[in-house]
Amino acid sequence: MPKNKGKGGKNRKRGKNENDSEKRELVFKEDGQEYAVVTKMLGNGWVESNCCDGSKRQAHIRGAFRKKVWITAGDLVLLGLRDFQDEKADVILKYTADEARMLKSYGEIPDNIKVNETDTMGEPDDEANVEFDIDDI
């Protein structure tokens, strides 16, 4: 029987979280790229997204992102547009909530685009003010 000479299998790789604490440089769009908000997960590495130019596109999550970067509905992503298919694109980068706020403040993203942002300034809406009259029951 062969001896295992590696340092572990897929469970060891799954537990790593190397890039969580490092701060990366903000990436702006270039020609052939577009900002988009993920609206729906379609499965098999495909998402449906609303682009900032007003069109709805299906985007493919590239292989390096598949198990390393989790993309959900409402995330802001950078799409690489295809020359030969206008209705399809490729996800190049996922922006964090802080990066999305920075892009919005720089005016890169229109104000009508809703992004997964946590509003820390507002009051919590946990409690609903509902009153019941026991006499009516």
3-state SS assignment for residue 98: helix
pLDDT of residue 16: 62
The model carries a pTM of 0.69
Q: Is 28 left (phi over 0), alpha (psi -120 to 50) or beta?
A: beta
Per DSSP, helices labelled H in 16-122 are: 97-106
pLDDT of residue 136: 64
Per DSSP, helices labelled H in the chain are: 10-15, 97-106
Per-residue pLDDT of the chain (137 residues; tens, 9 = 90+): 667 766 766 666 666 666 555 678 888 888 999 999 999 999 899 999 999 988 999 999 988 887 788 899 999 999 999 999 989 999 999 999 889 989 999 988 888 777 764 443 344 455 566 676 777 66
- DSSP E strands in 86-126: the ranges are 88-94
